[in-house]
Chain A
């Protein structure tokens, strides 16, 4: 994943926001809210929870702007707050079955280029559903790494910063997560094009 905002513009906006410029802060939020939201919702699978969590995340970020030292981009910094906040939320709530709720006014399925006709599409959708369910059952540390890297496309480096661990740890967790998912989804992953 590339950084979402130009660093210089980023720090200028942060500087203004620190001095109470709310429009500057709104601009910072606009620059990364979609990715932050998608990451949170990939964990919660619930748009209402994700919306509440994202509000908390940006309120925290606004309050702590003084602590932002500019060693990373604003996005990376907020991303870390978001991942921490979401993981804490999930630890508190444990795993709640049946809470999957995606409000279509907030999110919509991304356009996936269809190939192979309706039957192949149905098979693919079924596989995706099974993968989602299997990922949701992973232990949280593996699920977090897998969601960020395989789901959101983060590099090991960014995922490591977001999770507060080393890149080696992310690498190991990805390997373990894939192994667990493979064991669970084995028959569905055999054959066919990826």
Chain B
């Protein structure tokens, strides 16, 4: 066994983890190698110091105090987690609240507001109502047609009423007439009057 390999096994030996066969080989090497024996002594000193350096005692009072605090914390944890039944109620309440909030939101914000043109009687609405009435009451069709025609008649300006019978009475006629034409017309009127 070489020194390098031996030092690797010295570490295992100190931890009580060296297999017997390797242990025998190591011991044989150590017997004839003063450097490795010195190395082993150094490591033993290190381990001994490390073991003492970390050696503290946990006081019994600290142990009991720790248990009391742990007990309190476990109580808190349990209360926070709640019992399974309590949890079910909690989830149900949360679910109902969520549904209530959703309905309220729909009513206040998302519900489709009736379009204002229903109140203004849009063309489509008027005609759909008429068609509906037609289909349900054939007599209504006749009376509606009469009323419609009458209203068209009423609203239509008759030719006689809308235009002056005498073209000269139409003021628009004079606005587009040139001076020459005016002179000519004046002559014609004068000659008519003379007749």
Among A35-43, A74-82, A86-94, the one that faces the other chain is A35-43
Q: Quick one: which of A7-35 are within 8 Å of B by CB?
A: 22, 25-26, 29-30, 33-34
CA distance A152 to B58 in the complex (A): 14
Per-residue A-contact encoding for B40-78, CB less than 8 Å = 1, 0 else: 011111111111111111110111001101110110010
Contact present for A26 and B67 (CB under 8 Å): yes
Q: Write out the residue numbers on chain A whose beta carbons fall within 8 Å of the beta carbon of B71.
A: 22, 26
State whether the Cβ of A3 lies closer than 8 Å to any Cβ in chain B.
no
A55 contacts B70, CB within 8 Å? Answer: yes
Is there contact, CB below 8 Å, between A105 and B61?
yes
Tell me, yes or no, whether B16 is within 8 Å of chain A by CB.
yes
Does B58 lie within 8 Å of A34, measured CB to CB? Answer: yes
Contacts of A189 in B (CB 8 A): 42, 45-46
Q: Within 8 Å of chain B (Cβ to Cβ): is A141?
A: no
Nearest-neighbor residue (CB-CB) of B16 within chain A = A155
Complex CA–CA separation, A25 to B55 (angstroms): 27
Is B17 a contact partner of A167 (Cβ separation < 8 A)?
yes
Q: Would you call B11 an interface residue if the criterion is a C-beta within 8 Å of the partner chain's C-beta atoms?
A: yes
B8 in contact (CB, < 8 A): yes
Q: B174 CB to closest chain A CB, in angstroms?
A: 102
Give the interface residue-count category, chain A: 35 or more
CB atoms of B49 and A107 under 8 A apart: no
The answer to whether B12 has its CB under 8 Å from any CB of chain A is: yes
- Cα of A122 to Cα of B74 in the assembled complex, Å: 45
Please report the total number of B residues contacting A with Cβ < 8 Å.
37
Main secondary structure of the interface of B (DSSP, over half): helix
Once the chains bind, are A108 and B63 in contact (CB under 8 Å)?
Answer: no
Is the CB–CB distance between A175 and B62 below 8 Å? no
| Minimum CB distance partner of A192 in chain B | B45
Q: Are the CB atoms of A129 and B56 closer together than 8 Å?
A: no
Contact of A85 with B by CB under 8 A? no
A-side contacts of B154, CB under 8 Å:
none
Is the Cβ of B74 less than 8 Å from the Cβ of A152?
no
Whether B59 pairs with A107 at a CB distance below 8 angstroms is yes
Which residues of A lie under 8 Å from residue B66 when comparing CB positions? 29, 33, 37, 51, 54-55
**What's the minimum C-beta distance from A100 to chain B, rounded to whole angstroms?**
12
Interface residue? A117 (CB, 8 A): no
Given A167-B17, A174-B11, A175-B11, A151–B74 Cβ distance below 8 Å?
A: no
| Cβ-defined contact, B62 with A107, below 8 A | yes
